[in-house]
């Protein structure tokens, strides 16, 4: 029998690159356990699964089904998305320093031998630069590609957890975009809450990004998830001349109140967004059917979505709160999940796509609705197992929904479609620029 070994190819690459993991030198028919261990922001995450070596004594995770363990079936990257934290309550997928790589130890154990290898995932490619932005009242981080510009640009906003979405921005820069992760609460110098956030702040962010990076063909896309998904649709409708494309992850079709991220003094039924100093009408305002009871008193894990569904029953309130997406002047990507526990993103995306179809939106509209997936759609090859958690602002424990395997499929497919969508949007935008 040849020597027992395990190989990862490529061993070191960007986080969105799939890897081939192959064990060699086992006895044909031998049971082999393959395990993974990753330290993520100081906490260890781990997974394992069992396989049967083929007639050549190999276990290729792209071809060999996991028979038991933390995932089952054939999935070449199953060991990564099925990881769970050894310490309960940990949720950080990434280091605080996003330029530091994630290093995963992959170990294969047969009946008489063991072998190990390393799998390195990076958010920031070599040469990508990171710059903290604290000017003009803006709080964020700008990541630039290694290659000289000009580059197309994307501005990235977080959801109701607040903060600065550096991981996504770093990866976008690694893929050739000038990426500006802009915080609007729960970041240095900003409010701890989402309540009463002026939309003009984001307009200033768009203007700053254009002036700072001089983007290729003046292309600036905006991307956001959850409340950030609601926000980017709203920004595209409010400042259409300044937004070249919209990527809305699990968004709302409606303006919402502060909800779980609200300032306690304002309350969860208080306003979120201001325009010219005035609060925008939101779904809970004057709503005759809305009730928090299904969320507050429902069985654990609590589903915020159930309260949102009660509010949808008041058609007049929904009409008042609807985001006028028909004003958007660019392509729109909608990403939703059928088991979204936070709010009914599939219903919301149907509303958005339906309105855009009704008005014959002259730009492409792409909608991907992921069966059995939940609210936390990210990008590929990260753990998807922690679906229930305490909200980072309110502390309320609820579930984002979704099955881990379905969440992993949504992570992969959504990122592939986001990249394809942006390439097509840039090409169409650039061709129009050439004609003017």
CATH, residue 361? 3.40.50.1820
Residues 63 and 146 in one domain: no
Domain end marker among 98, 122, 146:
122
Residue 37 belongs to domain spanning? 5-122
Q: What is the average pLDDT value for the chain, to the nearest integer?
A: 97
Percent of all residues in the chain with a pLDDT value above 70, rounded to a whole number: 99
Average pLDDT over residues 254-276: 97
Q: Convert the chain into a string of H (helix), E (strand) and C (coil).
A: CCCCEEEEECCEEECCCCCEEEEECCCCCCEEEEEEEEEECCEEEEEEEEEECCCCCCEECCCCCECEECCCECCCCHHHHCCEECCCCCCCCCCCCCCCCEEEEEEEECCCCEEEEEEEEECCCCCCEEEEEEECCEEEEEEECCCCCCCCEEEEECCCCCCCCHHHHHHHHHCCCEEEEEECCCCCCCCCCCCCEECHHHHHHHHHHHHHHCCHHHCEEEEEECHHHHHHHHHHHHCHHHCCEEEEECCCCECCCCHHHCCCCCCCCCCCEEECCEECCCCCCCCCCCCCHHHHCCCCCCCHHHHHHHHCCCHHHHHHHECCHHHCCCCEEEEEECCCCCCCHHHHHHHHHHHHHHCCCCCCEEEEEECCCCCCCCCCCCCCCCCEEECCCCCCEEECCCCHHHHHHHHHHHHHHHHHHHHHHHHHHHHHHHHC
For residue 99, the domain's CATH number is 2.60.40.2240
Which of residues 69, 101, 122 is at a domain's end?
122
How much is the pTM? 0.96
pLDDT at 89: 87
Count of structural domains within the chain: 2
Q: Using one digit for the tens of pLDDT, what is the confidence trace for 77-134?
A: 999 999 999 998 899 999 999 999 999 999 999 999 999 999 999 999 999 999 999 9
Indicate if 106 and 134 belong to the same structural domain: no
Query: Are residues 112 and 139 both part of a single domain?
Result: no
Q: Write down the pLDDT at residue 1.
A: 45
- Shared-domain flag, residues 116 and 142: no
Query: Does one domain contain both 144 and 246?
Result: yes
Same domain, residue pair 188 and 67? no
Is 369 found in the same domain as 399? yes
Tens of pLDDT, residue by residue over 377-387, are: 999 999 999 99
pLDDT in tens, 2-51: 699 999 999 999 999 999 999 999 999 999 999 999 999 999 999 999 99
């Amino acid at each position: 029998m040849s020597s027992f070994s395990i190989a990862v190819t490529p061993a070191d690459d960007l986080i969105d690159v799939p890897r081939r993991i192959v064990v060699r030198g086992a006895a044909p028919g031998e049971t082999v356990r393959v395990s993974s261990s990753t330290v993520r922001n100081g906490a260890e995450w781990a997974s394992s699964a069992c396989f049967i070596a083929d007639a050549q004594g190999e276990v290729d995770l792209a071809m060999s089904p996991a028979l038991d363990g933390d995932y089952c079936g054939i999935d070449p990257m199953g060991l990564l998305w099925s990881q769970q934290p050894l310490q309960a309550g940990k949720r950080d997928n990434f280091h605080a320093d996003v330029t530091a790589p994630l290093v995963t130890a992959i170990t294969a154990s047969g009946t008489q031998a063991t072998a190990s290898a390393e799998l390195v995932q990076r958010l920031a490619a070599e040469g990508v630069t990171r710059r903290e932005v604290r000017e003009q009242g803006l709080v964020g981080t700008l990541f630039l590609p290694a290659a000289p510009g000009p580059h197309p640009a994307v501005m990235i906003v977080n959801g109701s957890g607040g903060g600065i979405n550096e991981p996504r921005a770093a990866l976008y820069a690694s893929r050739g975009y000038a990426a500006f992760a802009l915080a609007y609460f729960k970041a240095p110098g900003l409010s701890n809450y989402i309540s009463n956030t002026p939309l003009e702040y984001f307009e200033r962010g768009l203007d700053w990004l254009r002036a700072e990076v001089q983007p290729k063909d003046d292309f600036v896309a905006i991307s956001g998830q959850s409340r950030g998904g609601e926000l980017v649709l709203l920004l595209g409708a409010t400042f259409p001349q300044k937004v070249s494309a919209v990527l809305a992850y699990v968004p709302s079709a409606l303006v919402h109140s502060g909800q779980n991220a609200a300032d306690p003094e304002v309350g969860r039924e208080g306003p979120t967004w201001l325009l010219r100093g005035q609060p925008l009408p939101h779904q809970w305002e004057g709503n005759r059917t809305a009730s928090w009871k299904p969320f507050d008193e429902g069985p654990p894990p609590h589903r915020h979505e159930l309260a949102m569904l009660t509010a949808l029953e008041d058609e007049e309130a929904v009409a008042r709160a609807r985001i006028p997406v028909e004003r958007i002047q660019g392509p729109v990507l909608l990403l939703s999940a059928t088991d979204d526990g936070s709010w009914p993103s599939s219903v919301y995306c149907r509303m958005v796509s339906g309105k855009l179809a009704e008005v014959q939106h002259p730009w492409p509209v792409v909608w991907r609705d992921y069966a059995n997936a939940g609210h936390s759609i990210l990008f590929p090859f990260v753990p998807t197992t922690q679906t229930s958690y305490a909200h980072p602002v309110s502390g309320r424990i609820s579930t984002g929904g979704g099955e881990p395997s379905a969440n992993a499929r949504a992570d992969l497919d959504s990122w592939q479609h986001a990249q394809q969508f942006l390439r097509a949007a840039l090409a169409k935008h650039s061709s129009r620029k050439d004609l003017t």
